[in-house]
Structure 1
Amino acid sequence: MALTQGVCLLDRAGALPGGGRRWVRVNHRGDEVTLVEGVALAIGTAAPLALVEPASAAAVLLAAGGGAVDDLAGDTGVKGLRGHLGALRQGRVTTGALKVGVLVGAGVLAAWEVDRDRGRGASTLAAAGVVAGAANLANLLDLRPGRALKVALLVGLPLARTQPAAAACSGAALAVLPDDLGGRSMLGDTGANAVGAALGVAAVRHLPPRARWPWLSVLAGLTLVSERVSFTRVIDATPGLRQLDRWGRR
């Protein structure tokens, strides 16, 4: 909670890009919430990570920056991968398409460093895709309070003992979770992309190179499924998932 409060001080001081009102959104209940949680989480993840894995921290901040552009200047009339690709075919570059490019760049940056000592090849491309795909998937999950953070903790805590990116992300996620569950703030693209990128980095460092392609296929498959299937409907219709999703939520 202290992380979010600290960034809120920047908000009141007028230090956030675009001014405070640019970081306010209406959630699924119709309440106004602030997106400063996402800024707090990105900083809270990247700052300690920079001490041990500077390239990973840079990838997290790059993913967060791509999300921030979409948060502040995104075209709400264009939705999903299909919508952004359709706009590109018409010669229009949306902030969502720009964000995809930034996420790929973050993935390449992280993967290039991860494979520095083991040799770079096709599996390095798969690693970049895992980081970018995880960042995008986290954003697709951020549709209800606490959902993306719960998934992040389920994935991140088992990896936290050996992976600094997972440890930093899990610590930041625990810090902002109460405000998220309480409906006072939300991750937005800024925070969700940072969460996913951090966990993607942890995953590619933890997985053997041969496992990267299967995981990339899973992430790509879920992204394509999301174009036609509502994750929220699936979760609400599945006992166990529904209770976990609603746990702690106001």
Structure 2
Amino acid sequence: MYTYFMTIMLFCIGIAITLLSIPMISKMLENSGMIRENYRGDMIPVGLGLVFIPSLVINSIILIYSNIVPEKIIMIYMLLFASIAMSFVGIIDDSLGNRGVTGLIGHFKALFKGSLTTGAFKALLGGFVGLTLAVTLSKSIPNIIVATLVVALSTNMMNLFDLRPGRAIKAYVILAIIIFLASAKFNREVMMLIVPAVLAYFYFDLRALTMMGDAGSNVLGVSIGVFIVSSFDLPVQLVSLVLLVAIHVLTEKFSLTKIIENNKFLNYVDKLGRGL
């Protein structure tokens, strides 16, 4: 049964576990040589998006234990499966990725020439994860196609935003708030499986102390996709898909950073808190 107590409890547990996980996972990555130069030239740990997983798993156990309705349990497993799968492929890209190929189109061009990049592998897995979720939710072909594309493009969208400290998480929080307010009660509990971890990590990303990498941005994106396809019907999913396609087309032609810098409001929001 939905209660405000459950939402608050999951939120607090998610914050606590993530704050405990950050220094341990950061040290683990440093010891493994997962250090990369950021946009300012500082050498910082990369792949800290792994910190989203511990609280996600523990909160999922709590929410599954407190529910007996199969449909609700399936929704929890959908988020759990999608997040772990995309974090897995993300850490592969963070550690082995070839930065010589950029952009979704660039990775698929390389694939068609017979060269599988980590970026193409990530995109393909994202598509299959989206398809798995889509066929779980519906047996209608149009619904399956739309849901698959929404999940796959949502996942990649957060990679597009994750080019400056805090930018992707700011976009994520705005989208999560909109979805939270428009969602059913149980869907809000499901959101508490991952949102608290993102908020707990926000400071470290904003201050450029660490990079969450694709191991994190993939989780942000796929969770937004899961929230959309599990919370809303086809018309809303179609609107979401149109917006996602538009963002991808725009960023293939123009630099997202330049677009943000040339808009006073977006530039203000983008830099807010970064210099503290």
Other structure's SS at 2:146 match: helix
1:4-19 → structure 2 map (5 Å cutoff) = 5-10=20-25, 12=27
Task: Name the count of aligned residue pairs.
Answer: 243
Larger radius of gyration: 2
Asked whether 1:20 is paired with 2:35, we answer no
Which of 43, 47, 59 is the aligned partner of 1:32?
Answer: 43
Which of 223, 240, 243 is the aligned partner of 2:265?
Answer: 240
1:165-204 → structure 2 map (5 Å cutoff) = 165-204=190-229
Matches of 1:34 and 1:4, distance apart in 2: 16
Conserved? CA contact 2:46–2:211, under 8 Å: yes
- Compute the TM-score of the two structures, normalised by the length of structure 2: 0.80
- CA deviation string 1:220-243 (max 9, x = no partner): 221122112111111111111111
Q: Percent identical across equivalent pairs?
A: 28
**Cα gap change, 1:63 to 1:142, in 2 (>3 Å):** same
- CA deviation string 1:111-154 (max 9, x = no partner): 22233xxx433112211111111010001100011110011111
- The amino acid across from 1:127 in the alignment is A
More displaced, 191-200 or 102-111?
102-111
Matches of 1:29 and 1:83, distance apart in 2: 25
More displaced, 195-204 or 150-159?
150-159
Conserved? CA contact 1:4–1:37, under 8 Å: no
1:27-176 → structure 2 map (5 Å cutoff) = 27-49=38-60, 51=64, 52=73, 53-115=76-138, 119-160=139-180, 162=185, 163=187, 164-176=189-201
Q: Which residue of 2 aligns with 1:206?
A: 231
Matches of 1:87 and 1:130, distance apart in 2: 24
Conserved? CA contact 1:157–1:166, under 8 Å: no
Conserved? CA contact 1:107–1:131, under 8 Å: yes
- Compute the TM-score of the two structures, normalised by the length of structure 1: 0.88
Conserved? CA contact 1:49–1:57, under 8 Å: yes
Q: Which residue of 2 aligns with 1:221?
A: 246
More displaced, 32-41 or 71-80?
32-41
Other structure's SS at 2:197 match: helix
Other structure's SS at 1:25 match: strand
The CA deviation at 1:25 is 1.5
| Higher helix proportion (structure 1 or 2) | 2
Conserved? CA contact 2:26–2:48, under 8 Å: no
Instruction: Give 5+ residue unaligned stretches, structure 2.
Output: 1-14, 65-72
- The amino acid across from 1:192 in the alignment is S
Conserved? CA contact 2:26–2:45, under 8 Å: no
- CA deviation string 1:151-210 (max 9, x = no partner): 111111233364244333321111000111111012211100101101111011222113
**Cα gap change, 1:192 to 1:108, in 2 (>3 Å):** same
**Cα gap change, 1:11 to 1:167, in 2 (>3 Å):** closer
**Cα gap change, 1:146 to 1:123, in 2 (>3 Å):** same
Instruction: Give 5+ residue unaligned stretches, structure 1.
Output: none
Matches of 2:133 and 2:60, distance apart in 1: 13
- CA deviation string 1:1-47 (max 9, x = no partner): 762652542454x5x6x9521x2211111111212421102443454
Conserved? CA contact 1:130–1:216, under 8 Å: yes
Matches of 2:59 and 2:48, distance apart in 1: 17
- The amino acid across from 1:107 in the alignment is G
Matches of 1:140 and 1:229, distance apart in 2: 12
- CA deviation string 1:66-97 (max 9, x = no partner): 21111111111111122112212221111111
